[in-house]
Each structure stands twice: as C-alpha cells, then as structure tokens.
Structure 1
Amino acid sequence: MTTMKFSDLPEEMVAKILPKVPITSLGSVRSTCMTWEAISEKHLLAADAKNQFLGFILKDFDVCSMKFDLQGIHDDGNDFILPSVKEVSRLDQYEISQIFHCDGLLLCVFKDNNNSSVMVWNMYLNQVRWIKPSDVFNRFSKSGVYALGYDSKTRNHKILRNKSHGGSGYEIYDFKSDSWRVVKGSTPNAYTQFEEQGGLSLKGNTYFLAVQEYPVRFEGDEEEGVDGEDTSATRVILLCFDFTKESFGRRMKLPFHSEGDGQDYVSLSCVRDEKLAVLYQEYKTLKIWISIKLQPKVSWSEFFKVDLMTLDGFPDDFVAGSFFIDEEKHVAVVFEKEVKIGSCCSAYIIGQDGFFKAVKIGDAPAQYNRLPFGCTTAFTPSLVDLKNVKTSVKRKRRVY
C-alpha cells in the first residue's frame, strides 16, 4: 500500500486547504516542505485572500486571530462564511494588554505594569524577539503609548514608546542595531492625550487619534459689565509618526469636529494598507470617510452616512469601536466599543439602503473585552528575521 505524503498533494488541493488554515499557523504550514512554503506565500498574495479581512482581538487578555470573509453577505443562503476567531496558541501563556500589527509582525505589551520586556512575533516565520527597556528604571507600562513601523528607505523596523520614567519624551528601538535612542524630532506637547485605540500602521508610519487641549478666549461685554475670560477647549486630532524621519508630523485635519468628551465616538482603520478610513458616530448617525491623500496635506472623501435608527433591529445602545470597510461591496464591519460581561461579542455589517447583518464573533468575556485591534485586508508574510533573544517573562495569572 502506497502512503501519500503531504508534499505529494497536488497544488490544487493545497490551495483549497490553505484558506482554512489560521494565519497564526502558517509558520507550521511553510515548514512542511518547500512546495507548501511557496504555495502558502502565493495564497496570501492572491486575489481570493484579499477578500478576507484578517486581524486580531484581545479577549480577557488573550490574543485571538480573526478571519472575516465577506463573500455572500447579501445572500440569504449559506454562501456567507461565519467569522473565524481562534486563540493564538503561541501566545496563550501570557496575559497581554496591547497589541500592534505592522508588516506581518505583532508587537505585544504585557498586562503587568512593570514589564521587563515586550515581545515582537513574526507569525509566518514563527519567530519572536524579546526587547528590554533602555534602562532598568524605564520599564514598559501596560497603558503606555507604543507603535510599530519601519523606515521606508531601508525597511528597518522600529518601535516607538513614550518614556514611563523620568518625565515626558519618546524613545525608538531599532531592530537592526538592537538598541534604544531618544526621539530628537518634534513630539506632542503635554496637553495631547492619545486615544485608547492606540496607533494604526500604514505604509510603515503610525497614525494616532488624540485629544488636544488648546486655549480659547471668550470676549467680554463692556455694556453688560462682563469681563473676558481665558479658558481652554479640546478637540480630537490625527497625528502621524514618521519612522523614516523619526518625528511626529503636524496635526492632520479630520473631516468633522469632535471634542473627545464622550458625547461622540471616533475610530481609525486602514484600507488595504493604502488609505486611512475614519469613523464618526454622533448619537444615532454613523459616518465614514476615506483618505484621498495624506501628504503633504490630508484630504477626505465620504464613504457613507447611515442613520442607525432606520436599521430594523439594530441595538439601541450601540457604541462604535474598531471597524473595517470593503470599498467594492460598499459595506462596513463595525465592532462594539465595549462588550459587557454576560453578552456575546458581535460585529455588525452595515451598508446603505437599510442593510445590516449582526454576526456573533465570540462568547461572553469572563472579565472584559477590548475592541478588536488592527483589522487589515493586506496581511502579507513577513520574512524579517527576528533572531530570537531569550528573556524571561512572567507566566499567565488568571484573575477571577
């Protein structure tokens, strides 16, 4: 009896198997043989793969991979494929508070507030690098500002972080030199607070939503005997950190005004690693814009506007969090900003003309559920050799 090996399978059969493989297991697939390695990379770059929205979510401090296929969303039959959400076994021994995706690499910040390391994982090569702080007093805060990007000229990857010890300022970790240095370019002032969503990587740079405080002068009325007053107001702004120049750019204009006071909600996404998309929800109105250009001056085009009250069966208390869009199908997939304990995690596929579909993406969280992070339609395998550096990190501790 002849036994067939995996390497003997025809390419057509392998091509049918690969779409069912979680993106976090591709490292095992590529190691099967040279043929599977070539086919797996070909699959990720193929048109079929571009119909899949790939990303990660944090659930009870566990990292889960998410695959969202929008084929057949308008059909009543069985053509629509339910999202696939699976815990990443490579990371299941750690409790993680923040994740950042860029160029096939995943930066993980741990839950403990005085971490001696952060970790970068190349899921395709199945390699990790443990990164220590610049000094023992400047450990990694679970709620600090972080970003992962690369130099557009050299493709050298870098990490940005704010200093957690010794005052304000930012540092950059250089993958090539395996060292930290202080950011000498312009940085946000003390009156700029970064939003919880964190940064979003696009073409090597990172874009942040932030709330900025600025001075306002209220003029008095001499006839009424009312004196003028100097006060302040807030607004949501868009900032870009350029990893090539190693500097923050000027404030970028958003297509709406938000004071960032909790009366409305703003979220940022990317479109196939080519453009930015920004969501704005004010009460029951949801709007999304796509960037036409980002440099030297940003400009936006409205993608759609939806009155949520017209969507029959849509939840009354919905607050928008992370999202991604499909330009061709003209739909947005929007996740709830927070998921309450005892309720399931859901995504809402929203289109125009009253179309929407609710999709369950997970069971109720035991503790809390952070908004999905880094949804992208442009996942490609990274061949960056991280040259694994061994460092000890605390094992996961469950808190009930």
Structure 2
Amino acid sequence: MKTKISNLPVDLLEEILSRVPVKSIGAVRSTCKNWNVLSKDQRFANKHIEKAAASQRDKEILVITVNTKDDLISLSQAVSVHHVFYCNGLLLCLWRGIKRGFVVCNPYWGKRRWIICPTERWYEMFAFGYDKSCRIHKILRLSKDDNIVIHIDIYDLSSDSWKTPDVAFHSNVIDYTEASLSLKGNTYWLAYDKESGDGFLHCFDFTRERFGLRLPLPFGFTYGCNVSLSSVREEKLAVLLKQFAIIDVWVTDKIEPDAVSWSKLFKVQLNCRFLFGSFLINEEKKTFVVFDNCCRSYIIDGESGDTYIREVEKIEAPYVRLDNLVGCYVPSSVQIFS
C-alpha cells in the first residue's frame, strides 16, 4: 500500500519539511492548510531555522530591498524604502511616502508592523537593536533641530511608543557615519572627533539605553578615510580599510559596549579601482563582496593568495544608494505583534 505524503505521521512530516530551504517556506505554506499550520508552529520554526543555520554555517544570506509599492500599505502613492537595518532576524526599513516612518518585518513569518516617526527634523540618524534582558526590540533616533539641539528618542516595539531617555550625549564633539550596524542587540558606528578628526568605534547599548566608551580601531584613521563596518554571522564585527589599491580587513576577538579587541584577517592588493561602499564577508574562506554607491558589486577572493575581482550583475535601486540596502541576514523565529 502506498502512503500519500499527506498521510505521513506528524513527526515524519515535520522532519521532512524542516529540511526545506528557508527561501521556499512560502511555497510550503501555500501547499495545503495542514502544512501552513505546521510551518507556523513555534517549535517547528525553531527546528527549521536551526537546520537552515547549520546548512548555511559559513554562508551569509544576502537580503536586498528595493522600492516597496503601495500594495504593501494603504497609501495612495508608492513608498520608497531608502535604508534597511538588520537585527536578530528582523528588518527595519526606513520609508518615505505621504508620511515618513518605518516598517519592521520578519521575512520568515511574512509579518510586518508600520511605525510613524516623531516630528521630522533636519538631521536624523537611526539604529536598531534589542534589550538583552527581555529581547524587546527598539529603535534609536538621533536628531537635531534648527538650533543644533541634540534629541534622542527610543521606540519600544513591545509598548508601541516613543520615549526620550535621560542620556548624556555630547554629539557636539562627535560626528557619526551615516550607517549603523547591529550586533548582539547593540548598535555600533564609526565615529570621528570633530576637534581632532581622529576616528573610533562607538556603541549604543539598548539594554542600558546608554552610549559606551570610545573604542579603538585596529588602525589610525581620520575623517574622509575609506572605512566600513560589517558583521560575521551576527557574532563578530568586521572592519575594512581601503587605502589606494590596498584593502585591509580585521575582525573582532571580543566586542562589548565598553571593550574590543581585533585580529588581522587579510590584506589584499587590488588590480582595479571601484567606488567604496558596504561589504559582506566570509571569514573562513577570506572572501568578501563590496557594494559601491553606484549599484555595482564586486567579489574579492583572497583564499589562495591570488586575488581577483569580478563585477557581478548590476542591481537597480532607483534614487537610493545600494550600500544602504544590503546586509547579512540570518532567519529568526522572533514574532512581531501588531
């Protein structure tokens, strides 16, 4: 007697479906009602993601977000996503349309929440992280008004509200790069001292809702240098320094809001020129992809010691810098409650 897959024992069916690639989970859910219910069970989700992480091990999952049309939101015009932040399986997309705000989503569940920003000011920077004591995600906004007064606002996803914490912040002497990077719940920026021009790493701790100390980088640099941050499987920070035709990459041995140590990963001599942007890295294979701000990406492989650069297919991102839209994404079963 033949057994249909729909008649398989639940444990066996769960084991089979848990081996389906994460990118195909949508097809699984649309196959039948029973598979849809099973795939949305929290225990199954945890098992599925663990298997996906094990199979990916040293691979990075690249997520590229371009324009989001109004079929995703009840507005009369298109919404343009122009910056994406990644944290613990969630994506935070900053959008502009009739209004201005965020959408927080978990691609694994297909869930999203729309958030409206506080009063818009002429200068704004954002960061995404979570409180490690309770795993509640938060959004940080740094902004200035016409009087160059610094404002700090924090959005709490659990309470769906903004607040202004009592934080000592001396941004009159600190200038941050535009992009922030989330790692282990905290957010890190490359920053500069406005008086000396010296660069350093700066952290915002979302658990304490405080800024950490100025952390040293493995090299000296000043404003205007080609420096970029990335992450290694949400476990380490990586920093890339480009000087003329040479690229140096370091990764962290230890990283906390008030402490950091670095190891040199590799040094690459380039044989072509390209505009500098964000990057993704495979630490073991010593391979990385650089995305410039003109919608181009380059693969640089230093595993054998012989480096080659190959321009890959151009990716269109109208009106937006491509290096603001790419990053390392690892699936998560974190739920978003709207």
Partner of residue 42, structure 1: 47
Partner of residue 323, structure 1: 279
3-state secondary structure, aligned to 1:124: coil
The answer to whether the 8 Å contact 1:7/1:36 transfers is no
- The CA distance in 2 between the partners of 1:297 and 1:123, in whole Å, is 33
* Greater helix fraction, Structure 1 or Structure 2: 2
1:1-400 matches, cutoff 5 A: 14=17, 17-18=20-21, 20-21=23-24, 32-37=35-40, 41-46=46-51, 47-59=54-66, 62=67, 93-112=78-97, 115-134=99-118, 138-139=119-120, 144-165=124-145, 167-196=149-178, 198-214=179-195, 233-261=196-224, 264-295=225-256, 296-309=258-271, 316-329=272-285, 331-339=286-294, 345-352=296-303, 353-356=305-308, 358=310, 360-367=312-319, 369-371=321-323, 373=325, 375-376=327-328, 379-387=330-338
The answer to whether the 8 Å contact 1:99/1:109 transfers is yes
Name the Cα RMSD after superposition: 3.4
Q: 1:133 to 1:376 in 2, by over 3 A?
A: closer
Structure 1 unaligned spans of 5+: 64-86, 215-232, 310-315, 388-400
Partner of residue 230, structure 1: none
Q: CA deviation at 1:58?
A: 4.5
Give the residue type in structure 1 aligned to 2:21: L
Q: 1:36 to 1:319 in 2, by over 3 A?
A: same
The answer to whether the 8 Å contact 2:197/2:223 transfers is yes
Q: 1:362 to 1:245 in 2, by over 3 A?
A: same
Q: CA deviation at 1:372?
A: 5.3
* Percent identity for Structure 1 against Structure 2: 31
- The CA distance in 2 between the partners of 1:367 and 1:150, in whole Å, is 30
- The CA distance in 1 between the partners of 2:320 and 2:190, in whole Å, is 23
Moved more, 101-110 or 240-249: 101-110
- The CA distance in 2 between the partners of 1:201 and 1:36, in whole Å, is 28
Q: CA deviation at 1:373?
A: 4.4
Q: 1:55 to 1:164 in 2, by over 3 A?
A: farther
Q: 1:357 to 1:25 in 2, by over 3 A?
A: farther
- The CA distance in 2 between the partners of 1:362 and 1:7, in whole Å, is 46
Give the residue type in structure 1 aligned to 2:288: V
- The CA distance in 1 between the partners of 2:78 and 2:65, in whole Å, is 14
Partner of residue 68, structure 1: none
Q: 1:251 to 1:307 in 2, by over 3 A?
A: same
The answer to whether the 8 Å contact 2:121/2:145 transfers is no
Q: CA deviation at 1:5?
A: 7.0
Q: CA deviation at 1:21?
A: 2.5
Moved more, 93-102 or 145-154: 93-102
Q: Deviations over 1:220-249 (max 9, x none)?
A: xxxxxxxxxxxxx41222110000110111
Q: Deviations over 1:294-323 (max 9, x none)?
A: 2442111001011113xxxxxx32133222
Q: CA deviation at 1:361?
A: 4.3
The answer to whether the 8 Å contact 1:58/1:372 transfers is no
The answer to whether the 8 Å contact 1:117/1:140 transfers is no
TM-score, normalising length from structure 1?
A: 0.69
TM-score, normalising length from structure 2?
A: 0.81
